[in-house]
């Protein structure tokens, strides 16, 4: 569950469990993740469904390369790290930002902050 919920490596989960007296290999953690990870992730998403905090979200803009071409990835992220909306565009400018904001506001409403 640590690996699914937090951004940890298999080795870090192995160390956490070793501190608690459980001696396993990181390959066991990988096997458990492949087997039970989707189930845990589904349960976490189900608990969060409809409970999104619309109190505050931030705009995140990242440059990404796809097949050697430069694109711009726009994301709306809430304070818990949940991604509300993402948008990839070839151009960066006022029109792209406006399109992203309109799309996000229509789906998720206006944040309080």
Q: Is the pTM of this model over 0.85?
A: no
Q: Would you kindly state where each structural domain of the chain is located, as residue ranges?
A: 2-48, 57-108
Q: Is a pLDDT exceeding 70 seen at residue 52?
A: no
Helix (H, G, I), strand (E, B), or coil: what is residue 85? strand
Residue-wise pLDDT for 6-47, tens only, equals 778 888 888 888 898 989 888 988 898 889 888 887 887 777
Name the nearest CA neighbour of 79 among 107, 110, 111, 47: 111
């Amino acid at each position: 569950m640590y690996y699914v919920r937090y951004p940890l490596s298999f080795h870090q989960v192995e160390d956490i469990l070793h501190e608690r007296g459980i001696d396993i290999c990181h390959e066991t953690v990988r096997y458990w993740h492949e087997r039970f990870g989707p189930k845990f992730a589904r349960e976490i998403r189900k608990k969060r469904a409809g409970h999104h905090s619309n109190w505050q979200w931030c705009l995140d803009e990242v440059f990404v390369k796809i097949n050697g071409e430069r694109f711009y990835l726009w994301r709306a992220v809430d304070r818990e790290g949940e991604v509300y909306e993402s948008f990839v565009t070839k151009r960066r400018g006022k029109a792209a930002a406006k399109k992203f904001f309109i799309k996000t506001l229509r789906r998720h409403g206006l944040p309080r902050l």
